[in-house]
Amino acid sequence: MPPGDGGAVPGMLSRPGTAGKSAPARALTQGVGTIRPVEYQALYRKYRPQRFADIVGQDHVTLTLAREVQQGKVAHAYLFAGPRGTGKTSTARIIAKALNCQDRGIDGEPCNECFSCRGITSTTSLDVIELDAASHNSVEDVREIRANVGTVASAGGSRRVYILDEAHMLSRAASNALLKTLEEPPEHAHFVLATTEPYKLPPTIRSRTQRFDFHPVGSEVLIGHLGRIGKAEGYQAAPEALSLIARHARGSVRDALGLLEQVAALGAGKVEAAGVTRALGLADTDSFSRLCRAIADQDAPAALTLVSEIAGQGADLRRYTAEALEFFRGVFLALYAPNLDEIVDEPGDLIDEWRAQARVLDSSDVLRAIDQLGDALVALREGRDERLVLELTLLRLVRPETAVDPVSLSGRLERLEDRVRLLQERGAVPVPAAKPAPEPKGPGPKAPAPEPKGPEQKAPAPEPEGPEQKAPAPAPEQKAPAPAPEPKGPEPKAPAPAPAAPAGEPEPAALEPAPEPAAEEPAATAPAEGLDLEAVDGVWPQLVSRVREEAGPRRYALFRETRPVAVEGSTLVLGIGAHLPFHLAQLQEDDRLTAVITSAAAALLGGAVVVEYRPVDGEAHPAAPGGGTAEAEEDDPEAEVPDKDQLVESGEGGIDPADLIVDMLGGEIVDD
C-alpha cells in the first residue's frame, strides 16, 4: 500500500530514526497509519508520561504496579485517588500499554514501539475505553458498559481496560448497577476508577478495588521536573521563578506545566519571577517582609502605602490576602516548631524567611495577623470592597489600639508592660539626681537591709485598718507603738525615724523606690566576691519573685523553666532541660530578660553577676512563684498550708500592696 493512502502500514509505524527519540518526540513525529505534521500541543500533553518511570513523584504507586505486571498479578479493578494533575489517568493508560505490549520489558515497562503501544499513545486503540463518569453516570450508560464487556471480545487475545474518570460522579443507581461487573469481570477486562474525592464513592465500590493514593508532588521534585522541561523547550528559566511556579501549583504537575508555558509566552522564552507574579496577579515577593516590618514598628503609613502599591500593580487583593495568611501561618510554625523542614514542603529560602520574621515579631502579633486576615477573607467572600477591607485589616494589625478582640488587647497590655519596664530602667539611672538631701544617704546603706520594710509598715499604720490586723498579735504593737506614728505633726516623726525626717510629708512614700536603685548601682559595679551555689540558692526565692514582677508573664514563663546549676567566678549558670531547645534559644536571644535577671541577682548577691544558660540532662525543675521549685512545693505539703501566726509574723519580708501600686503607677499615698 503506498504511503499517504490512509492505510495502517506497520513498516511506516516503525520508521528508522525514531527509536532513540523520547516519548513526547515520538508522539509528535509518529502517527497510526500515516505520517503528517502534528499541530502544537500543550506542554502537559506533549510531555505526558509514557512509562511507569516517567510518572513524577509517585514511586510508591508505579513500583507496585510494574511488579504486578511483571509477575502477572494484575488486579481486575483499581481505584486511583488523589489531587488533580498527579498522574492518575496517565498511570491507567500505562497499565493498558503494559498489559497489551507485544515486547514488554522484564521490568514490566511497555516498549512504546509496538503497534499496540502506539495505538494507545495516539488514543486510537480499541483496547482502551476511557469514559467520563460525569457525563456517563446513568444506569443506561452502565448497562451499555456491561453489555460491551460481556459480548465484545478483545481482538488478538489482548486485554481491554476501562478507565472511568471522575468516578465519584456516578449516581447511586449506576454504582449499584456496576457492582456485579466490577466484582467478577471477564478475564480480558480490567477497570480503573480515577477520582479526586474517593470518600464520595460507595463502600461497596471501594471494597471491590485495589486502591492507590496519589500524593501532591513535592516542591523540590517539581522544580527539577520543570527545569528539565524548560531546558528541553529552550526556555531561560530562573530558579526563583521555577520555585514560585512550583509553590503555586500546589503539587499538581499539570498546573505547573500550564503556568510554565504561560509565563514563557509572556516573557518571550524567559521565565522570571516578575513574569510569574504578573501572570498570577501576585504582589512582589518582598511585600510580606515589608508588612512584617510595618507590624513590628507599628507603622500605619507604611502598611497603607503597601496596599496602594499592590493595588497599583494590578495584583489580586483577595489572593494577596490569602497568600499573606499562608505566610503568617509559616511564621507561626517557625515560632513553635524547631523541625520546620520536616513539617512543611516548601523551598528552603521561604522557610528561612519565615524564621527571620519569627525573630522579629511577637507571638501575639502573629496570632493577631492570622485571625485578622482570616476574618478579612470571609469579608471578601461576601463581596465587600477588597481594598477597603485590606486597608482596615492592616490598620488593625499595625495599630492594636484600634482593635477590640482579646488577642489585640493582650498585645496592647504586653506593650504597655514593656514601656513601663523601659521607663523604669531609664529612670533608674538618673534617679541619683534626685539626691538633694544627702543627709539620709549616710544611714542609707544600713537601711537597705530592711529597705522597703520601714515605709511598708508606716503606710498601713495611720490607716484605720491597721489596728484590725494587729489586734490578733500583740507582739507587733510593742515593736511599733501606735502613739508614735498617729500624730500627723512633723515633730514626732523627726525624732522617731531619722532617715524619713527631712521629707516630713507623705510624699516620701512615693519616692521610696529611689534609694533602692541607688543602693544597687554601686553594688553592681564590682563583680560579686565569694559567690557560690549555696549563696545563690539562698536568694533564689527573692530572685524568682523579682523576675516575675519585672519581666512580665511571657518572659517569666521562660525563666521559670530554669534553675541554678553552677557558679563559675562571677558567672551564674542557669540550667534548662535539654528537651526544651526552643526555650533555651528564646532565653539566649532575650536581652531584656537577661538584663532583669542580672540586675536582680546583682542587688541580692551584692555584686555584678553574669548570667549564662546551658542545657542540662533531665528536666530542670521549674522555679516556683514563691521561690524553690515546683517539685519541691509538691513534695512539701506543709509549705503550701502555712500557719496563721507565720503569716502575721512574716510581714517584714512581704510586699505591701500599697507600696507595690505606688512603685508601678508612680503615685503617692495621701492621708485623709
pLDDT of residue 215: 92
Q: Residues 638-660: what's their mean pLDDT?
A: 52
Taking 70 as the threshold, does the pLDDT of residue 504 lie above it? no
Distance (Å, rounded) from C-alpha 239 to C-alpha 360?
A: 28
64 — pLDDT class (breaks 50, 70, 90): very high
Read off the pLDDT band of 482 (50, 70, 90): very low
- CB 82 within 8 Å of CB 88: yes
| Cβ pair 368, 332 in contact under 8 A | no
More confident position, 246 or 27: 246
Taking only the tens place, the pLDDT of each residue in 128-182 is 888 888 888 888 888 888 888 876 655 666 788 989 998 888 888 888 888 888 8
Closest to 386 (Cα-Cα) out of 327, 322, 329: 322
The mean pLDDT value for 262-278 works out to 86
Q: For the chain, which domains are there?
A: 1-47 (no CATH), 56-213 (3.40.50.300), 219-280 (1.10.8.60), 287-409 (1.20.272.10), 518-652 (3.30.300.180)
The confidence band for 14, taking pLDDT boundaries of 50, 70 and 90, is very low
What pLDDT score was predicted for residue 434?
Answer: 43
What's the average model confidence in pLDDT over 310-332? Answer: 89
- Average pLDDT over the chain reads 74
Give 565-622 pLDDT, tens digit per residue: 888 888 888 998 888 888 888 888 888 888 888 888 888 888 888 888 888 876 555 4
Confidence (pTM): 0.53
So what's the pLDDT on residue 147? 81
Lowest mean pLDDT segment, chosen from 126-130, 474-478, 537-541: 474-478
- Bridge-based pairing of strands 562-568 and 270-271 is unpaired
- Phi/psi at 640 (nearest 5 deg)? -80, -25
For residue 221, the SS3 value is helix
Task: Answer with the residue of higher pLDDT: 157 or 311.
Answer: 311
Tell me which of 2-6, 78-82, 342-346 is least confident: 2-6
pLDDT single digits (tens) 71-127:
888 899 999 999 999 999 999 999 999 988 888 888 888 988 888 888 888 888 888
Torsion angles phi and psi, residue 615, rounded to 5:
-75, 145
CA neighbor of 111 nearest in space, from 11, 23, 16, 17: 23
Residue 73: CB atoms within 10 A of its CB come to 8
In this predicted structure, what is the pLDDT of residue 556? 83
Q: What pLDDT score does 413 carry?
A: 77
560-564, Cβ contacts within 8 angstroms, sequence gap of 24 or more: 560/622, 560/623, 560/624, 560/625, 561/620, 561/622, 561/623, 562/587, 562/613, 562/620, 562/622, 562/623, 563/620, 563/621, 563/622, 563/623, 563/629, 564/533, 564/536, 564/537, 564/540
State pLDDT tens for residues 212-223.
Answer: 999 999 888 999
CB 245 within 8 A of CB 256: yes
Confidence band for 522, pLDDT divided at 50, 70 and 90: very low
Mean pLDDT of 274-288: 83
Please report where in the chains the cell 565569694 appears, as a residue: 530
Residue 65's pLDDT is 92
Q: What is the dihedral of CA 19, 23, 27, 29, to 10 degrees?
A: -40
- Distance between CA 541 and CA 537 in Å, rounded? 8
